[in-house]
Every structure is written in structure tokens, then in C-alpha cells.
């Protein structure tokens, strides 16, 4: 069984008030929506990156908490399932409920799209590979602001057996 994992496509990262601030390609959302439309036999998951409401995070210039408008999935994203999970670390596999759900559905192959190719997308791919999944990163559907970090992580991803699709 296959899964498409949509990472951090939230108002704070790709919403109309923020996408330019983070330098993401403005067509990224439409390419991801097109990919989601092609998922007849694929389970689609949405992952939201949030912050814990602690003292240190309350001092951060950008704050994204559970229930905040910035933390919601971006307006216009095609949502075709209720498989929505939250994470507080870059790797979505840090969420035990998410991992349990993947296992309960006998998922063996994962394709990852979303943001950021030099952050959460790459770390989730590494987490997936570490957990024994066949992983593909769909480069057309990944936004990257952290280009140097993406290049650095690429070698790690290749060594972990992650595939890249253009």
C-alpha cells in the first residue's frame, strides 16, 4: 500500500500572506493539488508543524500553535482525507499516532511533498527510511528555502535509500 504525505502546507508557510516571505514558488500549491488528484489508490496524509506553548516559543518571532490560524492547512489545499496529524519536531515520524496509523494500513511506500526540502521534508524522509519504508521525494512538489541545507541533506537521503522523482 502507498501513501502520499503532504508536509507543512500551512498558512504560515505557503499562505498568501507568507509564501513570499519564505520565498516559496507560488505555483507549488497547484502542483501539489494536481498530485493529490492522482491518488486513487493512495492514502493521503497531511502533517502540520506546530510549536508547544512554552516560554521559549512564546518569545519566538513566528508562533504557530494548535488552533491558531497560521497553523491551519493553507486555504486552497485539496484535502481528500481526515488523515491530519501534528508534529512538534522536523520528522513527522516523531508522532507515534501517525506511525501507528501507517502501520495499521499496511503502508510500505511513501511519497513526500510539501515544504521545506531543506528541513521537515528531508527529515521526514529520513525518518520514513529509518522505519523501513520505500521513500520517494517528488522534487516538483517540494518547496525549498534552505537550499544549502537541502544539498547537505541530499547525500544523507541518498545513503538512506531515498529516491528522487523529477
CB-based contacts of 156, cutoff 8 Å, min separation 6: 122, 126
- Cell numbers 495499521 correspond to what residue? 104
Global pTM? 0.91
DSSP state at residue 20: T
pLDDT of residue 54: 67
Domains contained in the chain, CATH given: 2-165 (3.40.50.850)
Residue 161's alpha-carbon distances to 1, 59, 109, 143, in angstroms, are 19, 38, 12, 21
CB 135 within 8 A of CB 128: yes
Contacts of 101 (CB under 8 A, 6+ apart): 45, 83, 85
How much is the pLDDT for 85?
98
Q: What is the pLDDT along the chain (166 residues), one digit of tens a residue?
A: 999 999 999 988 888 766 555 656 778 999 999 999 997 889 999 999 987 776 665 665 566 767 787 889 999 999 999 999 999 999 999 999 999 999 999 999 999 999 999 999 999 999 999 999 999 999 999 998 888 999 899 999 999 999 999 8
Q: Residue 78: phi, psi to the nearest 5? A: -75, 110
pLDDT score at 92 = 98
Separation CA 74–CA 126 (nearest Å)? 25
Amino acid at each position: 500500500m502507498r501513501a502520499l504525505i503532504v508536509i507543512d502546507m500551512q498558512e504560515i508557510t505557503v499562505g498568501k500572506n507568507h509564501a513570499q516571505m519564505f520565498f516559496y514558488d507560488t505555483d507549488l500549491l497547484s502542483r501539489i493539488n494536481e498530485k493529490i488528484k492522482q491518488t486513487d489508490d493512495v492514502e493521503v496524509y497531511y502533517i502540520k508543524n506546530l510549536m508547544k506553548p512554552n516560554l521559549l516559543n512564546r518569545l519566538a518571532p513566528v508562533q504557530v500553535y494548535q488552533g491558531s490560524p497560521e497553523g491551519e492547512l493553507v486555504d486552497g489545499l485539496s484535502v481528500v482525507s481526515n488523515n491530519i496529524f501534528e508534529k512538534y519536531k522536523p520528522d513527522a515520524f516523531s508522532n507515534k499516532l501517525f506511525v501507528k496509523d501507517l502501520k495499521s494500513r499496511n503502508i510500505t511506500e511513501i511519497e513526500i511533498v510539501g515544504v521545506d526540502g531543506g528541513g521537515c521534508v528531508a527529515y521526514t524522509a529520513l525518518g520514513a527510511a529509518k522505519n523501513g519504508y520505500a521513500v520517494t521525494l517528488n522534487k516538483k512538489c517540494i518547496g525549498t528555502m534552505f537550499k544549502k541545507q537541502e544539498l547537505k541533506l541530499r547525500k544523507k537521503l541518498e545513503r538512506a535509500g531515498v529516491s528522487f522523482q523529477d
